[in-house]
Structure 1
Amino acid sequence: MARAELTERQRSTPPTLRVRYRLTPWWVKVVVVWAASRLVSTSLLLYFAARQAPNPWSGANPGYLQFAQFWDSTWYHIVAVGGYPATLPLTASGHVAENAWAFLPAYPMLVRFVMAVTTLPWEPVSVAVSFVFSLLTALMIYRLFLLRLPAATALFAVVLWCVAPLSPVLQVSYAESMHSFFLALALYLLIERRYGLLFPAVAIMSLTRPSGLAFALALALHFGHRWITRVRDPFPARERMLAAGLAGFSLVMGLAWPIVAWAVTGSLSAYTDTELAWRSAYIGYVELQPFAPWLQATRFWGDLWHLGAVPLVALALLVVGFAAALFLPAVRRLGPDLRFWSASYGLYLLAVFFPQSSTFRLLVPMFPLLGAIAQPRSAAYRVVLVVACIVGQFAWLSLCWWFDGYDWTPP
């Protein structure tokens, strides 16, 4: 009788918060994390908007939707409503000027489609699309990390992604949140070896932000790893054909947009000349040479700040440090495919991009490495890291998004 009464009492006792948390579906936890992080980032954006002076994109103290249209958002808007120029615009000196061909079509065309369906203007639709994809990415990243990490660690990795210093860019009229979703989806499918489904994911990802070439290299490394380990991990002929075809497809998608620009404008170098126009303010008009931009940058920044050889030494330490970090135990726990992507994308950045303030935004696709940073279980470590990330958001918005006049630090 006593035991029966005790059991009945236990059933009638409300579950503890810890039990309730454990019973909460994973997607609810991720949505709560995402919503809380968006509240923080939105508050910071509104803080800077309220202090924004008149600028090329708005008057003083713009509202949120106006503030979300700064910088490259204008180019995405141009693509959405006007498409791409058939003739490349030229500067007074005869060089290709900045133009819309630098911005891939998937994000602005999707916004254009939603605008047509809803009859709403660019500003609310473009921001809403970014918001939706930021939520979808948070959910997808959790599922991705869950393939390699415990649930609690995977969730904290999502926390870090949601509050990262660059996370405000996920809710403005930029393509980063859409690209992050399709990259996370592609990496998930790759680890799961669902090669057939990867083809459309790679296609959309490659037409959202430049990433097809880097993903092709990651796929080649994936193929090589599976071939080497085929004795203990069978690599059937059908999967070999699919994986090899997928690597070739990703390579083609990485070159597709430059080919489209060539076909429309008649200039073989239309895309690269357009991209190089943005760095002309730093180093003038030069030809694109693989791996030269970072060396050019060391000379530019060294001369500008009278640093001598310091930037070159810093570059060498950065390259060596990044390569070494890929072999740390915490990174190795992420599995080979996330490491292959991180290495491939890092090599891609080193080969083609000129480092300046926008480079921080270009590091967003490195988010798989957050899985390594999230592994320590110390509560103090995690709290300090989250606070540091939020402070980083403030710093990034102040230095890169908020416009203070003659600005050399675009986002």
Structure 2
Amino acid sequence: MPRGATGAARNAVATAGARVARWPWWVQVGGLYAAARLISACIFMAAALHQGVNPWFPAKPDYWSFVNIWDARWYGEVLRNGYPAVLPTDGAGNVQENAWAFYALFPILGRVVAGLTGMDPAFTLTLIAMVCGLGAALVIYKLFRHRAPHRTALWGTVFVSTFPVSPVLQVPYAESLNLLLLAAALLLVLERRYLWAMPVVALMCLSRPTGVPFAAMVGLLFLRRAWQYFAAARSAALSTDRSTASGPASQGTAAVGPAGQSGAAPHGGSQLWSLAGLTVVSGAGALMWPAIAWAVTGDIQAYTKTETVWRGHDLVPFKPWFDTGVLLFGPVLGLLAPFVFVALFAWFMMSRPVRALGTELRLWCACYLGYLLLFLHPQTSTFRMLLPLFPLALSAALISRSRAYRGAVVLMFLLLQIVWIVWLWAWAPLPGGGDYPP
């Protein structure tokens, strides 16, 4: 291409970029998110062309059939038939796979929308997932703007939108709904609107199992804010005593308490009580779905029994990580692998880009990872379960302002989307039967 033509092309791109930069923030975020989902749709359609024999439909399915597989079938089952009043068991009395593993809010929304519009239930769930994914992107941008300028917050949102498992946000899974509610809850916590956060957290606890780590996060946050509140009050009292003892000359000196060192104003008494209330609501919300399963089935362990069916063994905290470590790295290195992983994550959480996220978002990431270590059985679905760590996308954008770096991250994520969809979403039977779940 001639040099003049190259310069003209660059000028045209720069002009278009400047024009887009003047659009409202929500148009920019919505447009970039829609573009990300369109790319993911193209990957889905390309993978569908190579889909062979599978348990659900003929080979080479259309897009809508291809995205309505795996757990989407379970959500469709809940939408149509609800939850079993008696846990299904085999001849030996062992609980079998059933709908209680799938939280109710997403299929309930599907039933309401399908009833109001007359749309096909499968399409209804897909539409809800896509709308919630867009809403999550908009809320995530607003959340990131509390910690970064517009351009960096926008890049962080793009990282979330193109993350290797982000295609799950446009399929009939509850991830997009949960991401929307989680981001909204974190935004309200950052803005100290704790009373408004309560109903959001209650709904979040009925979408996916993120209630336990969220309750841990707000509980620890309450302890930190309470310590800051009483430390600031004690410091103010000591300052008043010194001022009284030394006379009027020192009355203009202001005390700086721990909250001042963190750059945020200390909580007032009413805010502290509201945060305590949110802690209680979050703890109750975390127990709500297991309690509902107990009330309907009469079995206090209905939810946990159902969840562990997919594991093939009972829940033993932390043990699956060591078992997987031994499987991957051998009997010696495998036992050390979980400790190395935790040490690396702790080191990462202390890095400057992550510290820039602030107390609340860092605390959420730490609590959620702790929850995964405590309860998760690591497998191929673990990649999908990393989505709630989305605040780390902003720290990735804060590493460098270079457009080359940020563009390379997006390109890498898009290539990994191909890996995730072809490797895990598409059905390819294993030698022993079945396939790895996405």
Question: TM-score, normalised to structure 1's length?
Answer: 0.91
The alignment-based identity, stated in percent, is 41
Are the counterparts in 1 of residues 429 and 435 from structure 2 also a CA contact under 8 Å? no
Q: 1:316-355 residue pairs with structure 2 within 5 A? A: 316-355=339-378
Would you say the 8 A contact 1:400–1:410 is kept in 2? yes
Query: What is the alpha-carbon distance in structure 1 between the residues aligned to residue 17 and residue 418 of structure 2?
Result: 33
Deviation at 1:236, TM superposition (A): 1.8
Q: For residue 55 of structure 1, what is the aligned residue in structure 2?
A: 54
Q: Does residue 292 of structure 2 align to residue 260 of structure 1? A: yes
> For structure 1, which segment, 229-238 or 67-76, has the greater mean C-alpha deviation from structure 2 after superposition?
229-238
Residue in 2 aligned with 1:311? 334
Establish whether residue 393 from structure 1 lines up as the match of residue 420 from structure 2.
no
Alignment of 1:175-194 (within 5 A): 175-194=174-193
Matches of 1:296 and 1:263, distance apart in 2? 34
Secondary structure at the aligned position of 1:363 is classed as helix
Structure of higher CA gyration radius: 2
Asked if 2 retains the 8 angstrom alpha-carbon contact of 1:51 and 1:61, the reply is yes
Separation in 2, partners of 1:120, 1:216: 37
* 1:18–1:40 distance in 2 versus 1, CA, 3 Å: closer
Matched, 1:39 2:62: no
What is the alpha-carbon distance in structure 2 between the residues aligned to residue 87 and residue 16 of structure 1? 64
- In 2, the alpha carbon distance for the partners of 1:174 and 1:392 equals 20
Give CA-to-partner distance per residue, 1:307-355, whole Å, 9 cap, x none.
3333333222111111221111100101100001001111111111100
Helix, strand or coil: the match of 1:374?
Answer: helix
Match of 1:295 in 2: 322
Contact 1:66 1:123 (8 Å CA) reproduced: no
Number of matched pairs: 388
Q: Hey, what does 2:403 align to over in structure 1?
A: 379
Q: Distance in 2 between matches of 1:149 and 1:225?
A: 24
CA RMSD in angstroms, aligned pairs only: 1.5
Q: What's the CA shift for 1:18?
A: 5.2
Unpaired stretches in structure 2, ≥5 consecutive residues: 1-13, 233-259
Question: Partners of 1:248 and 1:292 in 2: how far apart?
Answer: 29
Residue 227 of structure 1 pairs with residue 226 of structure 2: yes
Displacement of 1:58 in angstroms is 1.3
Q: Distance in 1 between matches of 2:224 and 2:145?
A: 22
Give me the whole-angstrom Cα distance separating, in 2, the residues matched to 1:278 and 1:142. Answer: 35
**Residue aligned with 1:97, SS:** coil
User: Helix, strand or coil: the match of 1:46?
Assistant: helix
Counterpart of 2:310 in structure 1: which amino acid? W
CA pair 19-396 structure 1, distance change in 2 beyond 3 A: closer
Q: CA deviation at 1:146?
A: 0.3
Alpha-carbon contact 1:57-1:69 (below 8 Å) kept: no
Give the residue type in structure 1 aligned to 2:388. Answer: P
Please list every run of 5 or more consecutive structure 1 residues that lacks an aligned counterpart in the other structure. 1-14
What's 1:128 paired with?
127
Distance 1:313 1:292 in 2: 13
Question: Does 2:96 align with 1:103?
Answer: no
CA contact (8 A) 1:212 1:254 kept: yes
Structure 1 match to 2:276? 244
Q: Find out whether 1:116 has 2:121 as its counterpart.
A: no
- 1:364-402 CA distances to partner (integer Å, 9 max, x unpaired)? 100011010011111221121111101110011111100
- State the one-letter code of the partner of 2:401: R
Question: Which residue identity does 1:350 align to in structure 2?
Answer: L
- TM norm structure 2: 0.86
The counterpart of 1:356, out of the listed 379, 402, 406, is 379
Provide Cα deviations, 1:40-96, integer angstroms capped at 9, x if missing partner: 100000001111112111111111111111111111111111111011111233211
Contact 1:290–1:351 (Cα < 8 Å) also in 2? yes
For 1:408 and 1:40, locate their aligned partners in 2 and report how far apart those are by CA, in whole Å: 25
